[in-house]
Amino acid sequence: MNAQLSFMQSETSENVSALLERVQSTDPALPDFDEDNKLESWGHYQFTAGSISPSTSLTSWREVGSVATAFKLIVAALKTCREARSMCKYAGKTKVGGFLSDVYLEQTLVRLEQCWLSAGGVCSKTNLSHSCLTSYF
């Protein structure tokens, strides 16, 4: 992706923009979240509220709009994963079976890769990662 920053750029769709805004701007310090959306479940609201999720919004590269938007989604998903871990650490939860945010990060990466490849984007697989998107990092 790095070598193809201007590949098939278009306007980001409303759904992708809404997903990105929600994931980027949600603050774990706000008291608005119930127990089902905190700690290891942090990320559920951000990635599914309003019937907008990675699977419903990341349907084509045209919807994503640009490499910059894809990178912003990945960074926002990684930030959500970090926040979930921090919440658990500060709550004293040492044994966690898994993080829901990790599931949404994986889903975001897979959907972005599918959109990228179906638009004719080039993928360079590495042994260190499962997708062409993570090979950039």
Residue 38 to residue 22: CA distance in whole angstroms: 16
Length of the chain: 137
pLDDT reported for residue 134: 43
pLDDT reported for residue 128: 43
**CB < 8 Å & 24+ apart, contacts of 94-97:** 96/39, 96/40, 97/40
Low-confidence residues of the chain: pLDDT under 50 = 1-3, 127-131, 133-137
pLDDT reported for residue 27: 87
pLDDT reported for residue 129: 47
pTM of the entire structure? 0.83
- Where do the structural domains in the chain lie, given as residue ranges? 2-136
